[in-house]
Structure 1
Amino acid sequence: MPHLQNIERDFPLNWTLNPIRISSSLAANTLSLYRKISQNMWRSCIQFCHSPKFQQYVRFLESSLCQF
């Protein structure tokens, strides 16, 4: 099975013997990735909210809601 050999090559042997180290590093990587994604999403949301198209859409919604 070639994919098993790849796993052995990619992961050092002491990692396979130490699952706690793997899980903690995975958790740290996931957390930093999540932090990066959330910062980027927050930034893009702010940019989107300040964009003229979105402002136009909000005004359109307000005017259409006021008509009811």
Structure 2
Amino acid sequence: MAGKYGGMGTSDIKRIQELEAENRKLKQISGVRKKSSCYYCNELLAQATVLTIINLSYRMIQ
């Protein structure tokens, strides 16, 4: 753990772990299982996936 998060406080480490777990969940939901180091790309992809799902649901309702 010290190697990966060297010099960080425990609250920082905890927050990073929460974000990583959330990121993994979003990747699973969107069907993307490729390993990517670009957090912001993954975030945008997840947002786009959610918007697409909402859009499709809205169209089905109408």
Question: Which structure has the greater CA radius of gyration?
Answer: 1
Q: Which has the higher helix share?
A: 1
Select the structure with the greater relative contact order (CA < 8 A; seq sep ≥ 6). Answer: 2
